[in-house]
Amino acid sequence: MAKSKLYGKDLICTRDWSVEELNMALDLAVEMKKKRFSKDHRKILEGRTFLMFFYNPSVRTRQSFEAAATELGAHAQFLEPKSMRLKTSKSAGETIEDAARVMSRYGCGIGVRILEDKIDAYGDGDALLVEYAKYADVPIINMADDRFHPCQGLADVMGLRQHFGSSDLKGKKLLQIWSHGALARSWCSVQESLLINSRFGMDVTLAYPEGYDLDPEVVNQVRANCAKEGARFEIVHDAVAGYEGADVVYARNWMSSVAYDNGFDKQAEVEKALGFSKWICDEEKMEQTPNALFIHPMPVDRGNEVTDEVASGPRSIMYDVAENRLHVQKAVMALTMGE
Ligand code: CP
């Protein structure tokens, strides 16, 4: 594989890539899915190492990146803060500049995950990735930070295209709806979904109870994306109304807009969220749609975010999307790191 025009590029949010670049990754992911385990793919990163730095736990992201590295002929090395000696606000140690410059000499790329409970204020996690990108000579891949989750967004789009049987999502309605839940989720997956799907022309209804506003900068960008595409954008504070006419229901819990105000208190967030018991995606609500697909990035909080009937029902595509994480990450790694 010759170097692509994406060679060396970071992926911190899908909005940093043009629609053409996103389609390049999505098309390659589809091809790689069709020809899985091809010997040709194993040569793309043969003998190289992808460094994966996890501040937070993961099932899908770690396993799919490891599998992606294996299938591209590379090795994925798992790193945690305790395995390094990094400078933090509370302890002396190595700076990000030094870590990024040294890691660039070993790896073909660096993935980083840092979520809400490992930062002091909203945006700090994303800022850490931007700092890695500033100093690293190899691509920085966001494996989920407090603002964005680009690989999840790409896997979502790949799943929707697969199930609609068309790469054109224009005119389809996405209901991005808050769900009550016991996990106090970060905003990264929902913000990435809103950003990428609005660029592909979907009508967007964003539904949540008062007090659960997302990042206003992101929401303004989504509004602008919809306007540019001639698509509808609306915000409703109703647990049911948005289901009408929805082609896709993405029901997911996220933390409130004041979650970081006095330090992140997960228990307080969970207790507050569980009070909104009407905000669950169930069959009765799904019946108001014209047979919508159910989508979720997982891990799913069954019985709180969504009922078992919907999560395991015939219109749920969450396992396909989880599988797609592997294919889109292989494509992103091949395009940004393959020589
Ligand atoms: N969707 C997702 O990123 O899953 P993990 O947290 O298990 O990696």
Each residue of 127-154: pLDDT tens digit?
Answer: 999 999 999 999 999 999 999 999 999 9
b/e per residue, 51-77, with b = 16+ CB within 10 A? bbbbbbebebbbebbbebbebbbbebb
The three-state secondary structure class of 43 is helix
Instruction: Report the atom number in ligand 1 closest to the C-alpha of 297.
Output: 1
Is there a shared CATH topology between the 14-148+323-337 domain and the 152-321 domain?
yes
State the distance from the centre of ligand 1 to the C-alpha of 60, rounded, in angstroms: 5
pLDDT over 70 percentage in the chain:
100
Q: Give the end-to-end CA distance of the chain in Å, rounded to a whole number.
A: 7
Instruction: Report the atom number in ligand 1 closest to the C-alpha of 143.
Output: 3
pLDDT band at 116 (very low <50, low <70, confident <90, very high): confident
CATH: 3.40.80.10, 3.40.50.300, 1.10.260.40, 3.40.50.1370. Which one for 152-321? Answer: 3.40.50.1370
- Which tops the pLDDT comparison, 100 or 261? 100
State the distance from the centre of ligand 1 to the C-alpha of 249, rounded, in angstroms: 19
Cα–Cα distance for residue pair 30/44, rounded to 1 Å = 17
Backbone angles phi, psi at 203, to 5 degrees: -75, 140
Cα–Cα distance for residue pair 323/143, rounded to 1 Å = 15
Query: Residue 263 above 90 pLDDT?
Result: no
Q: Which residue has the tokens 């069954």?
A: 302
- How is residue 190 written in tokens? 């929902």
Cβ–ligand 1 contact at 152 (below 6 Å): yes
Atom 3 (ligand 1): residue with closest C-alpha? 61
Cα–Cα distance for residue pair 242/281, rounded to 1 Å = 11
CA distances, 319 to each of 108, 124, 148 (Å):
29, 31, 21
pLDDT of residue 33: 98
- Give tens-digit pLDDT for 273-324: 999 999 999 999 999 999 999 999 999 999 999 999 999 999 999 999 999 9
In the chain, where the domains are located: 14-148+323-337, 152-321
Give the mean model confidence (pLDDT) for residues 16-34.
98
Cα–Cα distance for residue pair 49/314, rounded to 1 Å = 39
Best probe residue, ligand 1, of 53, 56, 58 (max atoms within 8 Å of C-beta): 58
| pTM, rounded to two decimals | 0.97
Q: Which residue has the tokens 């229901």?
A: 249
pLDDT of residue 1: 64
Atom 4 (ligand 1): residue with closest C-alpha? 60
State the distance from the centre of ligand 1 to the C-alpha of 72, rounded, in angstroms: 21
State the distance from the centre of ligand 1 to the C-alpha of 21, rounded, in angstroms: 24
Cβ–ligand 1 contact at 299 (below 6 Å): yes
Instruction: Examine residue 209 and say whether the peptide bond preceding it is cis (omega within 30 degrees of 0).
Output: no
Cα–Cα distance for residue pair 100/140, rounded to 1 Å = 10
CATH: 3.30.70.360, 3.40.630.10, 3.40.50.1370, 3.10.180.10. Which one for 14-148+323-337? Answer: 3.40.50.1370
